[in-house]
Every structure is written in C-alpha cells, then in structure tokens.
C-alpha cells in the first residue's frame, strides 16, 4: 500500500522539549538496540534524554565523553515506535546534536562527514551524476548507498520493475536523501539535500514514487515533514518496493524459478522498518515464493521490534566499534537461529553484513536474488 492518504506528520518545532517527558521515562528501554549491546544505562533513550535535560540545567557539560555518548544513539526510531504516547525522542536527540554542532563541539568524524556531504552530497566522496531531465508517471529514489555501494541492488530493482511493466525515472542518483545529516545534527545540510530531492521529484511530475528501503520511506514521509518542515507533492503515492513486488507476484506478474538450496534461511528486516507502517509479511512472502523447500527461521528482533545493523544514524562512520557490535548481533542472531542464508534489501546493511559474515553465513540481497531467478 502506498501512504498517499496518510496524514502528513506535523513539524516538531522545538525538538528539545520532548526530552522533558522522556528524561525520567524508562518504558522503551526494552527495544533499544544500542542499550541491548552496550548494557549501559547511559546509552538508552532515558539516558540520552536525561543527558540533554541535564545539559540544559548546567549539570552536564558537553565534554568529549558526553558528546561521544550523545552520538551513540542509532536514530533507529524503535523507542518512538514502542512509545504509547508517541514521544519523538530521536528528533530530540537530533536537535541536541544540532546544538552541539552549533557550539563547535561535535566529534571530528561528524565534521568530516559534513564536509563530504557539502562537497559531494554523499559520504562516499564520489561525484554525483547529472540529474535526468525527464518526466513520467513513475520514479524511483536511488540515493547514495545503492548508487555507489551496491549498484547491483538498483539494477535488480529496475529489472524486477521492468518485469511488471514499470520503467521508473531514477532520481537522487548518488545523493544522500538527508537522513544521515539529520541524524548527526546537521539539520541545514539535511534540509538542503532534501529540498534538492523534492525539487527533482517535482520536476518529473511523477505520480508514483518507488522506494528501495524502509529507511528511504521513513525519510521522505516522516523525516521531511517532522524534522525539516518539508513535504512531498500532495498527489504523490509513495510505494514500498518490496510490498509492490509481493503484490505483483501474487497477481502473477512476477514468476520465479525455485531455489533448490537446502539450508534454512532468515530475513533481516531493514533499518527503520519498525518506524513506518510497513507490511512486514511482504518480503517474507517473496522469499517463500523463491524457495522450494528450505526452512525459514526467524530473528527474535524482527518486524516492529527489528534491531538494525550498525549502518543506522551514521554509526558506521562516527562509532565504528558500536556499529560493528550491532551488525555482529544481527549475524549472530541469524546463525543462532540456524540460518545458512541471510537476506535483506537495505544496500548499506547488505554491505555491512557481507563484510562481517566472514564465511559463517551467506548474505544476499533480496532484490538481487529475486532478479536472478526471474522466469
């Protein structure tokens, strides 16, 4: 389902205000992935909120240790997803980071990313290609990770869409969509990158926008209006590619040769999938349609409580040790569940999981696997 008719989230004008509610609340502790791997009270939603509230009361100075702790939140959104009163704490933490950046106290790694994003519009320090001057009904947001790191994901997505009769215009090729700088407190830069993407969408006149990952869906449908006060064109239907492909497969538009692999397989719910209203069964149904007999095993941290790998919130650049621990936790979870094959569709997660798997488990892209078995 697209979410064209979903109400537009409101702009959060004072993100720091939210910490006044969260600073003494512990009710989302159980889902925080960072708290789960660090076991440290400080590195939990309550810890971050209390830090920020304490800094406002001059009880804590933003010294390097405190700033380091502030930059350990993954901005994965699980705390908010599980909050009965929908407190937007991740936005509050991003707001506190913006204040830290403003005061010139941000970690060097954040400032290096800022420089790269300002110069290249992506953290990979690669030149972005010219935007296409095209109009059409359908478009797909490419972004930086799929374009530079796993182009095979994009190729596979295009191939699968073509098989359903859709040939979308590729937008934002090589450009970060704005989530990374927003997470790091680089709000102006996030707004600039987001504005460029919105302008590009408008210029095509497209009515359907396909998105490769839940992270991209979160960015354009929630982050833009809530954190950046920006919105997509009203007529635009935002489409989760996995959900669309699953419907196409149900309708007989997509057919696959069955995989005769014998080993059990697992699916890693992509980053940010828990913070949008996602059809979690869609990618699972697609995998079931691919395998002839292999057994599906489940993660404990799945669907609306899915823990991310370390590629969220810029952790892979700013907190590489923590990022490694998070990615390792996902791999270990799959291995402990007995999986021999692991699938996901987020390009950066795919890359991180593959890099750390070290032969213990075979990591594959969902779209790549599907495209390779198209009938």
Partner 1 sequence: MIVSSLQREMIFSELEDVVGADHVSTRQVDQLIYSTDWSWMPQMWLDRGLIPARADFIVHPGSVEEISELLKIANAYRLPIVPWGGGSGTQGGAIPTYGGIIIDLKRLNKILEVNEESLYVCAQAGINGTQLEWALNEKNLTLPHYPASANCATLGGYLAPRGSGTISTKYGKAEDLVMSMQVVLPDGRIIRTPGVPNHASGPDFMRIFLGSEGTFGIISEATMLIVPLPETRLFRAVLFKSIGDGIEAGRRMMVDRLEPLVIRMYDPSSTASLVKKVLGYELEGAYMIIGFDGWEEIAAAQEKRAMLICEALGAKDLGREPGERWWNHRYDFYYPPLGLHLPQMYGTIETVTTFSKLEDLYWAKKKAIESHFGEIGIRYIGHFSHWFPWGASLYDRFILEETPEDPKEALHLHNRIWTVAVRTSLENEGMINEHHGVGLKLSRYMRAQYGPAWHLLASIKEALDPNGIMNPGKVGFGVQSNG
Binding site for partner 1 (CB under 8 A): 21-22, 24-30, 39-42, 46-47, 50-51, 53-54, 57-60, 63, 65-66, 69, 82-85, 87, 300, 305
**Residue 374 in 3-state DSSP?**
strand
Q: How far apart are CA 208 and CA 238, in angstroms?
A: 6
Nearer to partner 1, 58 or 251 (CB): 58
Q: How far apart are CA 365 and CA 360, in angstroms?
A: 17
DSSP class of residue 219?
I
Q: Are 93 and 134 in contact (CB under 8 A)?
A: no
CB 329, min distance to partner 1, A: 12
DSSP class of residue 209?
E
Nearer to partner 1, 285 or 305 (CB): 305
Per the document, the length of the chain is 375
CB 43, min distance to partner 1, A: 9
CB 357, min distance to partner 1, A: 24
Q: How far apart are CA 289 and CA 251, in angstroms?
A: 13
First to last CA, the chain: 25
CB 82, min distance to partner 1, A: 8
Nearer to partner 1, 35 or 347 (CB): 35
Nearer to partner 1, 167 or 336 (CB): 336
Written as one string, the DSSP assignment of 18-56 is: GHHHHTT--TTGGG-HHHHHH--GGGSHHHHHHHHHHHH
Q: How many Å is the maximal CA-CA distance in the chain?
A: 64
Nearer to partner 1, 118 or 328 (CB): 328
Nearer to partner 1, 35 or 143 (CB): 35
CB 29, min distance to partner 1, A: 4
CB 35, min distance to partner 1, A: 8
């Amino acid at each position: 389902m697209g979410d064209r008719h979903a109400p537009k989230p409101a702009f959060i004008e004072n993100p720091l205000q939210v910490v006044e509610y969260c600073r003494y609340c512990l009710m989302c502790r159980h889902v925080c992935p960072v708290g789960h791997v660090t076991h440290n009270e400080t590195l939990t939603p309550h810890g971050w909120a209390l830090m920020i509230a304490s800094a406002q009361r001059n009880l804590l100075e933003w010294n390097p240790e405190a700033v380091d702790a502030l930059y350990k939140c993954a901005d994965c959104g699980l705390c908010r997803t599980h909050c009965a009163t929908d407190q937007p704490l991740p936005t509050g933490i991003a707001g506190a980071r913006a204040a830290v950046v403003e005061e010139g106290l941000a970690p060097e790694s954040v400032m290096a990313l800022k420089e790269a994003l300002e110069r290249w519009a992506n953290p990979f320090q690669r030149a972005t290609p010219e935007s296409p001057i095209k109009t059409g009904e359908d478009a797909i947001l490419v972004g930086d990770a799929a374009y530079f790191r796993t182009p095979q994901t994009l190729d596979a997505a295009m191939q699968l869409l073509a098989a359903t009769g859709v040939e979308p215009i590729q937008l934002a090729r090589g450009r970060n969509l704005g989530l990374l700088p927003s997470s790091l407190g680089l709000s102006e830069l996030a707004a600039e990158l987001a504005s460029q993407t919105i302008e590009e969408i408008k210029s095509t006149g497209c009515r359907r926008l396909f998105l490769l990952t839940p992270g991209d869906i979160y960015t354009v449908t929630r982050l833009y209006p809530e954190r950046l006060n920006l919105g997509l064109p009203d007529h635009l239907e935002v489409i989760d590619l996995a959900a669309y492909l699953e419907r196409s497969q149900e309708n007989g538009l997509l057919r696959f040769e069955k995989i005769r692999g014998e080993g059990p397989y697992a699916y890693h719910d992509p980053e940010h999938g828990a913070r949008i209203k996602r059809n979690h069964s869609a990618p699972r149904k697609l995998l079931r349609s691919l395998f002839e007999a292999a057994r599906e095993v489940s993660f404990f941290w799945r669907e609306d409580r899915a823990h991310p790998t370390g590629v969220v919130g810029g952790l892979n650049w700013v907190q590489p040790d923590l990022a490694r621990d998070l990615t390792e936790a996902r791999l270990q979870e799959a291995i402990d569940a007995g999986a021999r094959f692991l699938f996901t569709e987020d390009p950066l997660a795919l890359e991180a999981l593959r890099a750390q798997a070290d032969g213990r488990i075979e990591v594959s892209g969902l779209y790549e696997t599907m495209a390779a078995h198209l009938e």
